[in-house]
Amino acid sequence: MNATTTTPARVSATDALGTILAENVHVVDQLRGASVGTLDAAADRLQQAERIFVLGAGRSGLALRMTAMRLMHLGLDVHVVGEVTAPAIVEGDVLLVASGSGTTGAIVRAAETASALGVGIVALTTDADSALARLAEVTVVIPAAAKQDHGGPLSVQYSGGLFEQSVLLVGDAIFHTMWKATGATAEELWPRHANLE
């Protein structure tokens, strides 16, 4: 008896792009409805910080590094946790963290340390009841699939892709809000852009 093999239907990159965009639009719509004021609270808390430290693992961490760069363009004192030039975090600082599950060991431990020092925490996560969310002063709950939620109803993307994309969008939204509140023009921010590229 010969086993028949089936070839999976090919999904065009254009169709995939449409799917990804539709999922992100859904997240934005949910954030607008369910988190009224939460993004503004996150922006306000970051604005009040003496210094801002960002921390995320993997792709979430990469998305937060982009946010760190934008916040630096505002003239804020921003550090990426784990970089050799990052100083000690102290009271008055804010730790901006992202973990889809809210249970990533290194992220939760860092948040626990920060909390014990009196540091404010702004968390981006999919789970409002997670250990990370419980430590945070401001929690932005992103309605996206957790990394291990394969084939669930929230996303057809692979391994937390929607959450990571949402971290970037939320970071840019927070930056945009903070930027516009300054009244500064793009030209005024531009001299802070890296010039050793």
User: Is 164 designated active site?
Assistant: yes
Q: Which of 19, 45, 20, 61 is nearest to 140 (CA)?
A: 45
- CA dist 197 and 193 (Å) reads 10
The token pair that represents 142 in the structure block: 């992103």
Catalytic residue among 83, 112, 164, 187: 164
Catalytic residues, which ones? 164
